[in-house]
């Protein structure tokens, strides 16, 4: 029992409860905070780059003496210069022109000013990495297809995540619309910002941005995160009347919105393109099964002579876009088998999690559920007293 209570005590070091009044101070916030404001209970998560406020429960009547709180992010670091987003868009355009695929680019914040790696353990140079002040921009080693950009095999990504602060991840949907797909929803769960570009060949490309905190995924205006240029529209209205004695009146209306393009194409480091590899479809055995070229069904011939049907495109995910290589029945004859193992995956940047660690992670999650329930039932003071008593008993044994 003392172990669980001590765990509760430790959990209290990263979780706090408070009120949103005139004494509210962000400097005293812990990692996770539940703040009672006049208009509701908020989950407030603090990272080195931003504070993310999410409404948990709205109150029907405001609480007197407290201030109103609004949902949304509050940056603790400078906004990202817009030119880096232009460089990202330029990179996405070149990848699409070359291979008709998606691509990814990541942002980190070097809060402790740690030295960035320059070579892998096999003495090959680290590429795709630039920094300006504490802002770090990284194009990971990625395998990209028409509907997916993968960079989980790059050990540098894990190093950056472990040693720097998460800030933002962006990727392209090339000719598709800018939206967060079911795949994005499944993969994007870290507390940070996310962005996606779509219809990148248009004069006014589409874009969508959001942040994730806890179970919430909340869309935002990109100007929250970037030094995004604005467009100001000024309209003047004149009101007249034939009523005797009526004086002519003028009204001015000013509207501001984020600039939507066209965007100037900027140069970016040449090694960014070296980080991109087009993922190819594995097909060792040519199938002679009849093909429907409108909505193609593909079959792979197994060594035992049986035919294995390949899944069709996920229409919900791909929208109105098709990779022409998939529609061409002859393209399958020329594509090479994808090799999932490459040299850089053996670079010793971090220690990868094994199956036992995954089990331990699940045990920790289960224990946190117990921690929350006991913490709520007993209260902070009771948990501390119980943990201290348990520690004394253990010391006396």
- Which string of DSSP letters, residue by residue, matches 266-328? ----THHHHTEEE-----SS---S---SSS--EEEE-TTS-EEEEPPP-HHHHTT---HHHH-
- Segment 102-109 mean pLDDT: 98
Share of the chain above pLDDT 90, in %: 58
Mean pLDDT of 262-291: 78
Average pLDDT value for the chain: 79
262 upstream amide cis, omega within 30 of 0: yes
Lowest mean pLDDT, pick from 13-27, 48-62, 298-312: 298-312
Per-residue model confidence (pLDDT) at position 349: 41
Tokens encoding 299: 């079959």
Structure tokens at 88: 């990202």
Report, as an integer, the average pLDDT of 140-153: 92
- 244-264 pLDDT tens trace: 888 889 989 999 999 999 999
CA nearest neighbour of 103 among 122, 120, 90:
90
**Tens digit of each residue's pLDDT (9 = 90 or more) over 349-389:** 433 344 455 555 555 555 555 555 555 555 655 656 666 66
pLDDT value of residue 124: 87
Give me the mean pLDDT over the 65-88 stretch. 96
- pLDDT, residue 387, reads 62
pLDDT at 158 over 90: yes
pLDDT at residue 297 is higher than 90: no
Count of C-beta atoms within a 10 Å radius of residue 271: 14
pLDDT number for residue 123: 85
CB 44 within 8 A of CB 28: no
Q: Over 70: is that where the pLDDT of 324 sits?
A: no
Tally DSSP H helices, then E strands, for the chain.
Answer: 10, 19
- What percent of the chain is modeled with pLDDT above 70? 67
User: What is 82-247+254-276's CATH topology?
Assistant: Cytidine Deaminase; domain 2 (3.40.140)
CB neighbour list of residue 17: distance below 8 Å, 6 or more residues apart: 33, 34, 35, 36, 380
pLDDT on residue 312: 45
Question: What's the pLDDT band for 338 if we cut at 50, 70, 90?
Answer: very low
Question: Residue range 199-225: average pLDDT?
Answer: 94
Report helix angle 2-11 to 380-396, nearest 10. Answer: 130
Rounded distance between C-alpha atoms, residue 17 and residue 59, angstroms: 17
Structure confidence at residue 122 as a pLDDT band (50, 70, 90)? confident
Would you state the pLDDT for residue 91? 97
Q: What is the mean pLDDT of residues 58-84?
A: 95
Quote the CA–CA distance of 194 and 177 in Å, as a whole number: 16
pLDDT at 356: 52
φ/ψ of 93, rounded to 5, equals: -65, -45
pLDDT of residue 175: 92
Least confident of 203-212, 217-226, 319-328: 319-328
Locate CATH 3.40.140 in the chain: 82-247+254-276
Could you tell me the pLDDT band of residue 120, with boundaries at 50, 70 and 90?
confident
pLDDT at 153: 85
Contact 253, 234 (CB under 8 A): yes
How far apart are alpha carbons 233 and 231 in whole angstroms?
7
Predicted confidence at residue 357, as pLDDT, reads 52
pLDDT band at 99 (very low <50, low <70, confident <90, very high): very high
Report pLDDT for 342: 38
Q: State the pLDDT at residue 15.
A: 79
Q: Is residue 5 within 8 Å of residue 386, measured between CB atoms?
A: yes
Neighbours of 350 (CB within 10 A): 14
């Amino acid at each position: 029992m003392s172990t669980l209570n001590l765990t509760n005590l430790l959990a209290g070091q990263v979780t706090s409860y408070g009120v949103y009044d005139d004494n509210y101070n962000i400097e005293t916030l812990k990692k996770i905070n539940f703040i009672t404001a006049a208009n509701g209970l908020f989950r407030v998560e603090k990272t080195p780059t931003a504070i993310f406020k999410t409404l948990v429960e709205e109150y029907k009547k405001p609480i007197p003496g407290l201030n109103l709180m609004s949902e949304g992010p509050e940056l603790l670091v400078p906004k990202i210069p817009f030119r880096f987003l232009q460089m990202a868009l330029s990179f996405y355009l070149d990848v699409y022109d070359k291979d008709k695929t998606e691509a990814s680019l990541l942002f980190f914040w070097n809060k402790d000013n740690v030295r960035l790696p320059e070579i892998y353990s096999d003495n090959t140079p680290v590429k795709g990495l630039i920094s300006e002040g504490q802002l770090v921009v990284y194009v990971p080693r990625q395998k990209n297809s028409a509907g997916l950009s993968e960079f989980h095999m790059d050990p540098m990504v894990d190093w950056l995540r472990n040693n720097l602060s998460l800030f933002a991840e962006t990727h392209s949907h090339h000719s598709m619309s800018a939206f967060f797909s079911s795949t994005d929803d499944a993969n994007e769960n870290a507390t940070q910002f996310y962005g996606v570009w779509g219809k990148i060949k248009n004069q006014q490309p589409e874009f969508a941005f959001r942040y994730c905190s806890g179970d919430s995924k909340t869309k935002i205006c990109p100007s929250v995160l970037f030094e995004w240029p604005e467009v100001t529209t000024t309209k003047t209205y004149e009101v007249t009347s034939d009523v005797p004695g009526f004086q002519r009146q003028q009204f001015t209306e000013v509207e501001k919105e984020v600039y939507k393009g066209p965007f100037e194409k900027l140069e970016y480091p040449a090694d960014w393109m070296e980080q991109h590899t087009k993922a190819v479809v594995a097909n060792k055995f040519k199938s002679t099964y009849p093909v429907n070229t409108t909505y193609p069904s593909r079959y792979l011939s197994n060594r035992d002579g049986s035919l294995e049907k390949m899944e069709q495109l996920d229409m919900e995910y791909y929208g109105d876009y098709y990779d022409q290589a998939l529609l061409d029945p002859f393209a399958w004859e020329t594509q090479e088998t994808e090799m999932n193992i490459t040299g850089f995956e053996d670079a010793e940047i971090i220690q990868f999690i094994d199956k036992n660690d995954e089990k331990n992670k699940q045990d920790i999650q289960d224990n946190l559920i117990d921690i929350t329930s006991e913490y709520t039932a007993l209260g902070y003071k009771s948990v501390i007293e119980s943990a201290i008593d348990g520690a004394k008993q253990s010391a006396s044994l």
